[in-house]
């Protein structure tokens, strides 16, 4: 008698489990696990496996049915911050800022597509051939992006950005060297005083984490409205909080709710502050309007290479969606945006605040930035970059801090 291999035995057990679960709709995790174990015991071929192999089949089938298949164990690994699935055969993970292959793969394109569909349905979103791009989130708040073939040429692509189970707070940022206590106290006073801030930086530099930390400085008696493509902000300590999330169009092309729609609606909800997870398109004009109609202390993030580039990108995005004259637009930006905090990743993969700039009017260009703090390297120890944020200039627009009774001379 020929001994059947592990893969075939697992497939046969899976088929038996599916047959039994069809007759038990709505089974909970405990029931599913019990059914898997019973089917393994009932399988004659499984008797040729070692106890460890039978336990492995049970674990893998449970993850396949109730979890994210081969990704489930990675998702539960707290050291993993990013998961990248490039088709069925290549899965990469990021740990401590370093990328590496994990040696896992999906058994078929169909299985990977099923997992992507499962994620989409979990947040009432759709991904299919007519709408092959998905922005979503997992139950734990992890950010998900998926692209189906033929848009993704080498097969379905899935990217998952994970966040710590315990949100990083101000003390953790100081402990990791991302920002000094003195500078963080300065930023705290800016938030309390109601300065409108943009957090800029590249992908993966920690903009969302830093936005969460800044939002923790908002006085607890204020009403806050958050607006996101996929809800991932973790606003702590605010009772009067409303979280809004966009919605994709239905298969019939109707029912879409955009960031722009939500910003406009938020202004009718009597907010003290509006927090926009990320501005990346035509909603920039509405965000700027929110900054300019008295919602002091509003926050948002933007992809940019520097604080000055953040202003240029914001200007370009608005010009692409409106015919407002450049001079008027720049006056609006200078009036609405007070502070830009630029983050980045250094060559050792560590995340730092690299620049804090004030938005000022300029007699030649109409608008510019004035550096308040700038990160300067002092050397490296064992491959780790050493440096600090160095004070450059005093805050010019001090009125809000003076009104709040918080202004102190920077040093």
| Class level of CATH domain 70-161 | alpha beta
Angular region, 82: left φ>0, alpha ψ -120 to 50, beta rest: beta
pLDDT value of residue 366: 75
Answer whether 0.75 is exceeded by the pTM.
Answer: yes
Q: Is the pLDDT of residue 408 over 80?
A: no
Q: Is the pLDDT of residue 1 over 50?
A: no
High-pLDDT (> 90) share of the chain, %: 36
High-pLDDT (> 70) share of the chain, %: 97
Spell out where 51-175 has E strands.
Answer: 80-86, 90-95, 98-101, 133-137, 143-147, 157-161
Asked whether the beta carbons of 275 and 224 are under 8 A apart, the reply is yes
Which part of the chain is CATH 3.40.50.300? 170-403
β-sheet bridge partners, residue 386: 379
β-sheet bridge partners, residue 1: none
Output the six-digit token pair for 366.
């109409």
Range 170-403 classified under CATH 2.60.120.10 = no
Torsion of CA 394, 331, 288, 273, to 10 degrees: 40
Per residue in 149-179, pLDDT (tens digit) is 889 998 999 999 887 777 778 898 898 888 9
Residue 49 C-beta-side C-alpha neighbours within 13 Å = 22
pLDDT value of residue 326: 86
Per residue in 4-45, pLDDT (tens digit) is 677 788 888 888 888 888 777 777 888 888 888 888 888 877
- Average pLDDT for residues 190-209, to the nearest whole number? 92
Torsion of CA 169, 181, 302, 342, to 10 degrees: -150
pLDDT value of residue 350: 86
Rounded to whole angstroms, the Cα distance separating 263 from 285 reads: 10
The residue behind tokens 């930086």 is 201
- Average pLDDT for residues 107-124, to the nearest whole number? 89
């Amino acid at each position: 008698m020929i001994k059947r291999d592990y893969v075939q035995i697992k497939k046969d057990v899976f088929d038996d489990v599916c047959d039994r679960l069809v007759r038990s709709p709505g089974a909970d995790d405990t029931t599913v696990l019990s059914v898997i174990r019973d089917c393994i015991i009932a399988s004659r071929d499984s008797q040729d496996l070692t106890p460890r192999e039978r336990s492995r089949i049970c674990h893998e089938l449970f993850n396949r049915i109730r979890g994210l298949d081969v990704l489930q164990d990675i998702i539960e690994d707290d050291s993993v911050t990013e998961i990248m699935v490039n088709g069925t055969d290549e899965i990469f993970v990021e740990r401590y800022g370093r990328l590496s292959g994990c040696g896992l793969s999906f058994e078929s394109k169909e299985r990977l597509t099923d997992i992507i569909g499962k994620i989409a349905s979990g947040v009432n979103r759709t991904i299919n051939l007519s709408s092959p791009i998905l922005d979503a989130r997992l139950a734990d708040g992890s950010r998900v992006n998926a692209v189906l073939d033929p848009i993704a040429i080498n097969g379905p692509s899935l990217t998952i950005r994970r966040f710590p189970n315990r949100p990083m707070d101000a003390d953790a940022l100081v402990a990791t060297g991302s920002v000094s206590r003195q500078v963080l106290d300065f930023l705290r006073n800016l938030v309390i005083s109601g300065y409108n801030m943009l957090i800029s930086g590249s992908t993966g530099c920690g903009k969302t984490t830093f936005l969460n930390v800044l939002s923790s400085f908002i006085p607890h008696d204020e009403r806050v409205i958050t607006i996101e493509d996929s809800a991932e902000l973790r606003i702590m300590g605010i009772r009067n909080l409303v979280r809004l999330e966009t919605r994709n169009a239905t298969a019939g092309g109707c029912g879409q709710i955009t960031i722009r729609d939500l910003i406009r609606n938020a202004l009718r909800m009597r907010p003290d502050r509006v927090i926009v997870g990320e501005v990346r398109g035509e909603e920039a004009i509405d965000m700027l309007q929110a900054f300019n109609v008295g919602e002091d202390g509003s926050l948002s993030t933007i992809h940019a290479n520097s604080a000055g580039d953040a202003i240029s990108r914001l200007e370009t995005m608005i010009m692409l969606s409106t015919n407002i004259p450049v001079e008027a637009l720049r006056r609006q930006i200078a009036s609405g945006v007070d502070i830009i905090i630029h983050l980045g990743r250094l060559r050792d993969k560590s995340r730092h605040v690299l620049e804090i700039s004030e938005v000022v009017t300029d007699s030649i260009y109409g608008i510019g930035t004035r550096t308040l703090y700038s990160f300067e390297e002092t050397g490296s120890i064992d491959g780790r970059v050493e440096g600090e944020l160095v004070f450059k200039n005093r805050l010019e627009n001090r009125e809000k801090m003076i009104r709040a009774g918080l202004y102190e001379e920077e040093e």
